[in-house]
Every structure is written in C-alpha cells, then in structure tokens.
Amino acid sequence: MKWLVSLVGAGLVMVSLRDLFHTLWHPTRHGGLSRLVMTAMWRLARRFRARRRVVGLVGPLAMVTVVGMWAGTVIIGWAVVYWPHMPESFTFSPGSKAAREPAMLDSLYLSLVTVATLGLGDIAPDEGWLRLVSPLEALIGFALLTATVSWVLEIYPALTRRRVLAIRLALLRDAGPTTGQLDSTAGALLLDSLATEVVRVRIDFTQYAEAYYFHDGEDHSSLAAMVGYATALAERGQAARRSEVRLAGDLLAGALADLAAILDQRFLHTGGPPAEVFAAYAADHGRGRAQP
C-alpha cells in the first residue's frame, strides 16, 4: 500500500513535468493543463463589465497561475511520495519537533524545502532509495525555476513582434499610400516585408500560443484591430499592374491566410474564411471589427 501511494505521488509529478515540457519545448501540441487554465481565465475575464482592464491582466496572471500550478503539483506529488514512509524512513535533527507533527505536514515541509533547494537538513531521508530520489526533486525545482525564466524571456519578444507589426500597419494606414505609390518597386518591397512579419507572427502563435491571451491595448498597437488593413493592402497588391507587386501581394495574402488558419485552428474555431477568422479575432480581443 505504501508503494501504491508513492506511485500516485510520482504520477502527479509526471503530469506536471509533461505539461511543462509540452508548453515550453513542444508547444505545437494541442491541449495541456496550461492551455486549459489560460483559456478558462481568458473566457472568464471577457464576461466582466470592466472588460478592458480585466482582459489586460489575463496574460500575466495566467502565466503566474500556470507556474503556481506546476510548482504546487510538484510539491504535493513529492509530498505524497514521502508521506507513507514518514517518519520511520527519515532522520530528524536533535531537538527537532518535526517528528511529533502529522506525517503529511512533515512531508509537505520536506518537499517544499527540497524543491526550493534550501536544504535545511532538519529532516533527511534515511533509506537508500529515498536518498537517491530526494536530490532529484531539488533538480526538478531548479529546472522549474529555469523554465519559468525562459518562458518569460520567450513570450515578451513575441508580443513585441506582434505589436511592431500592428503599429507599422497603423502608420501605413495613416500615411494612405496611393495606388501609384503601391504599384512600384518600393511597393513590392513593402508588401514583401509585411509578408515576412506576418509569417513571424504566425510562427509566434504556433510556438508561444500563450501570447494569444495577452491583450494589446490601444488600437494602433493591436494586431486584432489592424490585421484587416493588411488584408486590404494584399488585395491592392494583387490587383496591381507590375508583376513584382502582384507577386508580393500574393505572398502577403498567403501569409495572412496561413495566420488565419492558425488562429482558427488553435483559438477561434470558426471554420470560416480568413475574413471571418480575423473578424472573430478582433471581436475576441475587444474590437468591434478589424480596421479596413
């Protein structure tokens, strides 16, 4: 029975590590606990009356919640591993009152101290197999800390790339390039560079799906609000006289269609054409419609 309980604890640890792996190092996989948590928080926030303020906090709060879930599951899992063997398989420092505490409380304390790599030493494993697996928990705790820092450092550059594209589109819309200006070599280069940026954003949504749940705020920095103008530019490029501009327009249109496919497949599930997907994207991020 003791071993069965310990195996349950090991299973909890493996569930957390599996979700961490798929979130950070195999993000193209669908589902996972972290995605479920973030999706639930996003949908809940959209129901609040003060929607803009609440939705703007979803991304950071969801990341904190997911990291807390990973850490809590690892701590509880290892505590369950220790619990059936507490206190007879552990030694306690002289004068310690820990042995008089409930076994589960001592197990949680030992697990928390170990995963935090504090190594206080007032409770130490005595059996051989426990002396081997206890340092493994410390390694997992260190890996969890490193993974959390890496996650933050990966997400925010992806958000920056998305917002840069949105602001660039807003500036182009305000500049209002004429048909003659767009139907030129410079126009072809412009459309080609926009296609490249759209592809980068598409990859970001694939590699860092959590970035979807970050609200971009003002219209000029919101891709949800500005992606409609990119579609309009692609259509103008496709209708141009110059072959290089038509080619660049086709590239931009293809990149936008690919982006719409990823958004629909992973987040929106409309099953419609790109225009419908982008309209749903704008609505999901608090925009009445994509800007023309």
What pLDDT shows up at residue 28?
62
Please state the rounded mean pLDDT for residues 18-35.
Answer: 77
What's residue 79's pLDDT? 93
Tell me: pLDDT of 288 over 60. Answer: no
If pLDDT is split at 50, 70 and 90, which confidence band does 87 have? confident
d(CA 285, CA 171) in angstroms, rounded, equals 21
Contact 215, 58 (CB under 8 A): yes
What's the rounded mean pLDDT across residues 6-20?
Answer: 91
Let me know: does 198 contact 249? Beta carbons within 8 Å: no
Could you tell me which residue, 222 or 87, shows the higher pLDDT? 222
pTM of the model as a whole: 0.82
8-state DSSP, 216: -
Average pLDDT of every residue of the chain: 87
Q: Averaging pLDDT over each range in 94-98, 151-155, 283-287, which range is the top one?
A: 151-155
Amino acid 9 reads: G
Q: Each residue of 168-203: pLDDT tens digit?
A: 999 999 999 999 999 999 999 999 999 999 999 999
Model pLDDT, residue 190: 96
Contact by Cβ (8 Å): 209, 266? yes
The DSSP secondary-structure symbol of 219 reads: G
DSSP-derived 3-state class of residue 92: strand
pLDDT given at position 289: 43
- Contacts of residue 246, defined as CB under 8 A and 6 or more positions apart, other chains included, come to 237, 238, 239, 240
Token pair belonging to 71? 């850490």
Structure tokens at 203: 């990859």
CA within 13 Å, CB half, 122: 13
Tell me the angle at which helices 128-175 and 2-24 cross, rounded to the nearest 10 degrees: 20
pLDDT at 162: 95
For residue 202, which of 232, 162, 249 has the smallest C-alpha distance? 162
